[in-house]
Amino acid sequence: MSAAAALNTGEALVPGISPQVYGLADFQRISAKVHEQAGIVLSDKKRMLVYSRLAPLLRGINSQSFSDFLDQVENDQALSTRMIEALTTNHTYFNRESHHYDHFAKTLRPELLHRANQGQPVRIWSAGCSSGEEIWTLMMVLLGSSQQEGKRIAKQDIVALASDLASHAVNAGIAATYEAAALEAVPEPLRKAWTSSTGGKVQIGPDPRRLVRFRQLNLLGPWPIKGEFDVIFCRNVMIYFDTPTKEKLVWRFANQLKPGGYLYIGHSERVSGRAEELLELVGPTVYRRRA
């Protein structure tokens, strides 16, 4: 592909790594590897996007061609992980698809708090948490707008797992610090109760943070998880997967839910396959495991 053709894709060329060292066979190898490890399907339209994401990585390890780079990837799991991370899209924002949080607040929160008050464990999972905006929104909704009540809730046996494939996304979630404008979509009473602002930055407070455990996790690999969850959020992750991968993943989610537990998925995603035996639709992209 010529430089002019590359520029026509809208993707910037990377100094020192010419598109001439990136052929169709390289793209096909990358596509196969990414699908195998992360379930992501890369169409031909993504060819130059892949170049722009990976060329800086090649330059950083002094690799002169994509072919040589991919040979290294085959024998270096850490480098393979870095490749997958570079190709992972981590786009999210606070209070995204707010109807899910409204449903959680009205339908599920009272039940979870009742159980917590009875000394029972409450377990929540944000699968594909990206940089943390989803789980922090959810924790603020769970704790509510009253600091006094929320601090009491935070002392109960409530644990939320937030997992993502990309280490940089997990680290951003752990840091829990964002541009102030990013939280404008969160209702003001929740922001006031559970965040603090300094110099244009907003920090998630200690009470929500003590509830969450961040982990790097590939959803297509083994899950080192023993217990079941009351709630699983996995939204706008499966849009990058093919149908067999989606159906297998949702089946695993369904089996990881307690009977009566809820699964929230993205607005363009649907449950299909075997998971339909276990999950019933109870709201817009909200599913409940049958008892």
Active site amino acids: 53, 164
Give the single-character DSSP code of 142. H
Cα–Cα distance list, 111 to 140, 150, 156, 231 (Å): 16, 15, 14, 12
Separation CA 36–CA 164 (nearest Å): 17
Residue with tokens 């839910």: 257
Structure tokens belonging to residue 201: 């930055």
Which of 118, 269, 163, 63 is closest to 286 using CA atoms? Answer: 269
The three state secondary structure string of 191-239 is HHHHEEEECCEEEECHHHHCCEEEEECCCCCCCCCCCCEEEEEECCCHH
Residue with tokens 């990976």: 54
Give the single-character DSSP code of 15. T
Structure tokens belonging to residue 89: 């899209």
